[in-house]
């Protein structure tokens, strides 16, 4: 029973700000890997926060792999952000699950903080204009179909001019 809600203004701003922030290189202690969402303008982004110690995250990867396989050609980008403090358990997790979508490492939680992650796992569905449209906290198998419909809905939307403000 994850929380589906239209995002607030603040979150939409965060999405845009993030792209700008990382375009200019992070100033926080311990920079995360670069995450330039601007590079994905025009695409639908499923941004997921996971950790090796989170079992529902293990369950979510096969599903994310599935939607990646199905919709990458239509413009879906799946990015999985790892918040483990150490790389080793994360590498073990990835060796087991072998995702083919990109992984970003955020060992100090800076990205998680900026997106306002309030549970694990957390995923944000970002539309072709860079706005966060859906937020999911937790992963529940019975909600996979509904989540997939949200993604296909976003994929079906056309891109508007990037000059429009959120």
Partner 1 sequence: MQIDAPAVAGRSRMIPRLRLFAVVGAALLLGACGLVGVKPWERDLMAKPEMLLDAAPIDSAMDDHVYFSKEAASGGKGFGGGGCGCN
Partner 2 sequence: MQLKPRARRQQLALAALALFGGSAAQAQSDLPATEGNQPAVIDTGFLWYQESNNRITDAEVIVSAHQPLGGDTAWNGRLTIDAVCGGSPIGALPSKSSQSFVTPTATSLNPPVVVTQTTTSASGGGGGLGVNLCTNPVQNQKYIVAPGQLPIDQSFHDQRIALSGGYEAPIGTQSKFSAGAALSHELDFFSTSINGLLSRDFNNRNTTLAAGLNLEADKISPVGGTPVPLSPYGAFEKGGNRNKNLQDALLGVTQVVTRRWITQANVSYEHSSGYQTDPYKIVTQVDALGNDAAGMYLYESRPQTRNRLALFWDNKYAFDNDVLQASYRRTQDSWGVHTDTFEMHYRLSLGDYGYFEPHAREYRQSAADFFRFFLFQTAAQPAYVSADPRLAAFTGQTFGLKYGLALGKDGEFDVRAERYTQRGAGPANPPPGLQGLDLYPGMQAYLLQVGLRFTF
Task: Pick the binder of partner 1 from 104, 140, 144, 152 (CB under 8 A).
Answer: 140
C-alpha to C-alpha distance for 67 and 93, rounded to whole angstroms:
20
Pairing of strands 103-105, 122-126: unpaired
C-alpha to C-alpha distance for 5 and 53, rounded to whole angstroms:
26
Residue 84 lies near partner 1 (rule: CB under 8 A): yes
Determine the interface stretch with partner 2 among 21-29, 36-44, 127-135, 139-147 (rule: CB under 8 A): 139-147
Q: Angle between the 55-71 and 87-97 helix axes, to the nearest 10 degrees?
A: 50
Q: Which does 83 bind (CB under 5 to 8 A by kind): partner 2, partner 1, none?
A: partner 1
What residues numbered 40-69 form the site for partner 1, per CB under 8 A? 49, 51, 53-57
What residues numbered 43-82 form the site for partner 2, per CB under 8 A? 53, 55-56, 58-59, 61-63
Q: Would you say 108 and 83 are in contact if contact means Cβ atoms under 8 Å apart?
A: no
Task: Pick the binder of partner 1 from 118, 146, 162, 166 (CB under 8 A).
Answer: 118
In 3D, which of 71, 128, 58 has the Cα closest to residue 98? 58
Task: Pick the binder of partner 2 from 38, 99, 107, 138 (CB under 8 A).
Answer: 138
Residue 105 lies near partner 2 (rule: CB under 8 A): no
């Amino acid at each position: 029973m994850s929380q589906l809600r239209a995002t607030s203004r603040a979150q939409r701003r965060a999405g845009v700000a993030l792209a700008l922030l990382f375009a200019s290189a992070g100033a926080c202690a311990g920079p995360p890997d670069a995450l330039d969402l601007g590079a994905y303008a025009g695409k639908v982004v499923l941004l997921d926060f996971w950790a090796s110690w989170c079992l529902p995250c293990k369950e979510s990867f096969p599903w994310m792999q599935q939607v990646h396989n199905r919709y990458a050609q239509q413009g879906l980008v799946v990015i999985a952000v790892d918040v483990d403090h150490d790389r080793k358990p994360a590498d073990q997790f990835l060796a087991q699950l072998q995702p083919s979508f990109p992984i970003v490492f955020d060992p100090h939680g800076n990205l998680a903080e900026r997106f306002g992650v309030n549970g694990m796992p957390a995923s944000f569905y970002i539309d072709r204009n860079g706005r966060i449209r859906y937020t999911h906290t937790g992963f529940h198998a019975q909600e996979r179909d509904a989540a997939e419909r949200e993604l296909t809905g976003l994929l079906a939307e056309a891109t508007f001019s990037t000059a429009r403000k959120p």
